[in-house]
Structure 1
Amino acid sequence: MTTPSQLEQLIAACHWIGQKGWSPATGGNMSIRQDETHCLLSESGKDKGSLTGDDFIPVVIASNHAPSGRQPSAETGLHTLIYRLFPEAGAVLHIHTVNATVLSRIEKGAALALSGYEMQKTLRGQTSHEATVLIPVFDNDQNIARLVTEIEDSARHQPLKYGFLLRGHGLTCWGRDVAEARRQLEGLEFLFECEVQRRLLEG
């Protein structure tokens, strides 16, 4: 039995995300690294629950240029930034869940601190609930080039791991391949839901 390709795995992950309602109304965008210079990124305005291989566009990582002339996601620059910053990154998932969106507005600091949760171990390199996982939070900006510069500058001082939140927008996360990105996405979403409920109950 042959192993599904990364694109096939990404399409399956997109359908799973769509079924969960994590990218409503064609929101969100997903990609995989195609080779050293290109990624395959979901086309703008497509329902993530019904994507096919034809809905992914080759994009030049260094320039955000789509040689086909088709329109990739508005957040293309966020994907290519991850591929530039992390040569090991093989897949990037950007979603708009209620938990990630609400928590990104509740959290007023520069990072969301998660600690005490067993499910932190779904994140690569985490081995204990006693550790503190920091998920950076950035203000949303319709100027993606400016937002990319802010995130890139921040990464020099506060290392990016797993993902980051945009206030009132959602979560961007990544992994070495689709399976890892999908696992960490599900783990973070669970942790965000726990954190929202904890704050409501303690508030």
Structure 2
Amino acid sequence: MEFNSNITDPRSSLIATARYFYQKGWMVGTAGNLSARLADGSFWITASGKSKGELLLNDFVCITSDGKVKPSSLQIKPSAETVIHQLIYNLFPQSQACYHIHSIESNLVSRFVEGDTLPLPPLEMLKGLGIWQENPSCVIPIFTNHFQVSQIAVDIEKRFALAAPQISALLIRDHGLTVWAGSLETARNYIELLDYIFRYMVAAARLGM
């Protein structure tokens, strides 16, 4: 993935994506969060408590590369999951976007297994996630949904230090899906592709397949 340093203010694109996700039912109420990283390592992230279907330019907080709120953004509170976004950008420095949604299917499939990885079916859609193999064996990591978000970030950092994930995505059980990518467009594609895969898995389970 090539980092696109030409984007100076991604907020309009984030607003459009948030509205789309809201309309899909993936960011109901004030749930979910989106961020986009800038060339200097700082990133814009959605503010806490804002409807993702009605975001404005001033509904974003700018976070420095070391996790501090920039002075210009001190009047609003950043998403509670800012620490996860910061960690993702530190672990995967080529990432430009990190999106987190609360979809029904992502929560359902997180309960399909008791362990900490969820096997994904070998669908064609995996190619869009970078898995180019015949009959691929691909899994997505699952993390416990701790009340303290900082503990989730600690768990992610510990596990990814041992082994990088196969795809740029993770599940938080009973919480939602997080993806990251080298462009805003690719991150949106990842969300759509994984939602398709999860919907397939839920439908297959209902049919007993």
TM-score, length-scaled by structure 2 = 0.89
**Matched position secondary structure for 1:46:** coil
Q: Which residue of 2 aligns with 1:50?
A: 54
Q: How far, CA to CA, are the matches of 1:129 and 1:48 in structure 2?
A: 38
Q: Which residue of 2 aligns with 1:20?
A: 24
Query: Once the 2 structures are TM-superposed, how far is the Cα of residue 194 of structure 1 from its aligned partner?
Result: 0.7
Equivalent of 1:133 in 138, 145, 149:
138
Contact 2:37 2:96 in 1 (8 A): yes
Structure 2 runs not aligned, ≥5 long: 1-6
Give the residue type in structure 2 aligned to 1:147: I
For the pair 1:109 / 2:111, whether they are aligned, the reply is: no
Query: Once the 2 structures are TM-superposed, how far is the Cα of residue 87 of structure 1 from its aligned partner?
Result: 0.6
Q: Which residue of 1 aligns with 2:41?
A: 37
Contact 2:122 2:138 in 1 (8 A): no
Query: Once the 2 structures are TM-superposed, how far is the Cα of residue 119 of structure 1 from its aligned partner?
Result: 1.2
Number of equivalent positions: 200
Structure 1 runs not aligned, ≥5 long: none
Q: Which residue of 2 aligns with 1:98?
A: 104
Question: Which moves more between the two structures, 129-138 or 162-171?
Answer: 129-138
Q: How far, CA to CA, are the matches of 1:127 and 1:32 in structure 2?
A: 27
For the pair 1:150 / 2:155, whether they are aligned, the reply is: yes
**Matched position secondary structure for 1:159:** coil
Contact 2:119 2:137 in 1 (8 A): yes
For the pair 1:188 / 2:177, whether they are aligned, the reply is: no
Query: Once the 2 structures are TM-superposed, how far is the Cα of residue 140 of structure 1 from its aligned partner?
Result: 0.3
Q: 1:178 to 1:64 in 2, by over 3 A?
A: same
Instruction: Return structure 1 stretches of 4+ with deviation > 3 angstroms.
Output: 3-6, 64-67
Q: 1:170 to 1:129 in 2, by over 3 A?
A: farther
Q: Which residue of 1 aligns with 2:3?
A: none
Question: Which moves more between the two structures, 180-189 or 32-41?
Answer: 32-41
TM-score, length-scaled by structure 1 = 0.91
Q: Which residue of 1 aligns with 2:176?
A: 170
Contact 2:99 2:187 in 1 (8 A): yes
Query: Once the 2 structures are TM-superposed, how far is the Cα of residue 116 of structure 1 from its aligned partner?
Result: 1.9
Q: How far, CA to CA, are the matches of 2:128 and 2:41 in structure 1?
A: 29
Q: 1:39 to 1:5 in 2, by over 3 A?
A: closer
For the pair 1:79 / 2:111, whether they are aligned, the reply is: no
Contact 1:120 1:128 in 2 (8 A): no
Give the residue type in structure 1 aligned to 2:205: R
